A and B are shown apart, each in its own frame.
Chain A
Amino acid sequence: MLKVSEIEVRYSGIPIIHNVSLVVNDGELVTVVGANGAGKSTLLKTIAGALRTSKGTIHFGNEEIQGLSTPEIVRKGITYVPEARLIFGPLTVEENLEIGAYIVNDAAQKKSNLDFVYHLFPRLADRKKQLGGTLSGGEQQMLAIGRGLMSNPKLLMLDEPSLGLMPKLVDEMLGAVAKLRGTGKTILLVEQNVRESLELADRGYVLQTGRTILEGTGAELLNTESIRKAFLGL
């Protein structure tokens, strides 16, 4: 479905991503793990069209998509869920979700997307008239994911959904991701919680200073000596 081949991304001239390749197949949950500053968010933003590649290609289906704008990429079926800070605080939960469905023109489809989101996150349904900015951190993150789902994406990219949440909520959030995967969604997940996300994922990539240094199934990576040392403290 998604194929990133040897891309380089520069940020005001300085390469942040040196050489990253990854593949996401239909129906897979793929995770990219790595320390802070490894270039995980940069990678997702580049796929989303918010940043430009200076080398390499990105294919979605059979189409080259690097160079397309973000709105065009959303219309191709890739939705990027940014950190929870980027929800629309002064708008209600339902308005946030409605705007998430901006590219969906079919009212019935919109309705079924909304039902899907409320089913996945019942707490959002309870708070649909509440302003986004007044939600708790965990709820805001749910809203960010729900808003992303409203566009009915073929590929959903999650940028650290557990960031800044307390441990109990981290489990809940990653549980929701697992539930989402159960519905057949294809997901590319970027996480700092290495163990939890590798346990969850079909496959994983380890990113270090802008390079993919390891790849494998979640279980394989969890048993790799260097990962156990570097990330899991074992």
Chain B
Amino acid sequence: MSNLPPPPAFKARGKSRAARIAQLIPMVVLLPTIITTGLYIFVFVGWNIYLSVSTSTLLPVYDYAGFDAYERLWRNPRWTTGVWNLAFFGVLYIVLSTVVGVFLAILMDQKVKAENLLRSIFLYPIAISFVVTGTTWQWILNPSTGLEAFVRNLGWDEFTFTLITNRETAMYAVVIAAVWHASGFVMVMVLAALRGVDHDMVKAGQIDGAGMMKIYRRIILPSIWPVMISVLIILLQFAIKTFDLVLALTHGGPGISTTFPAMFVYDRLFAAGQLSQGAAAAVWMLIGLVIVFLPVMALAWVVRRQRGGAA
């Protein structure tokens, strides 16, 4: 936010009528966005909150029924399992995508030949939709159609690969598919940031005899922190919206072992015709979002301030 104040010279000139009108132009330009996103965010979320305390089932009913739907939610195993799964998946997904992405970016930063080709290869999964990602990985991971059948056809009859059919491990299948989808994107973001790192600092480090690992840890990683926060926001956004991927990959199963909150919300709102319950679940998701999001925003703010101060 430190970059926001306008050039002081302009302020001094803002006396004439024309200048004052000119000053309004950015406001006018932003107005449509403010109105539409205001409608989109506050009115839609507000509508949801209203529904969640109403008696709506099949269709919206605008009355008041209290917070019963909020409480009852936590007795529903599909919801509680979903929340736990999201936390588990979210952490693994964000950490692994970041680790793999950063690792790839570091490798790619070694003046690699055919960089364009390799980068395109690592990046393409993000262009593939979640539905296709899920379906394809389901083909590969399913024992009777995928890897297991393939290896057995090659002659290893005892080969078993039941990651996706075992309720204890199915979540890792979701993580693999999701990390596959996102880590190239993380790589590109980090790679871009690495290219922006001050080369003199790196050289100075090398002259001091620091090893590559040390240089990465001490000089480079700290200076790509702002990018890491953007990465975090984008991954977090993906994690919370996890829906199509799981539906195509595991159908939420085996059992309900890979069910997610967004699936529950959709299920309640549409399949089950429980609008108030679905809306309550959605509100819980938003609350969770705020809880997770606030520290991230705070961190972003701190980082930005530090950079601003340093610059």
Q: Do A and B associate with each other? A: no
Question: Which residues from chain B sit less than 8 Å from chain A, CB to CB?
Answer: none
Question: Which residues from chain A sit less than 8 Å from chain B, CB to CB?
Answer: none
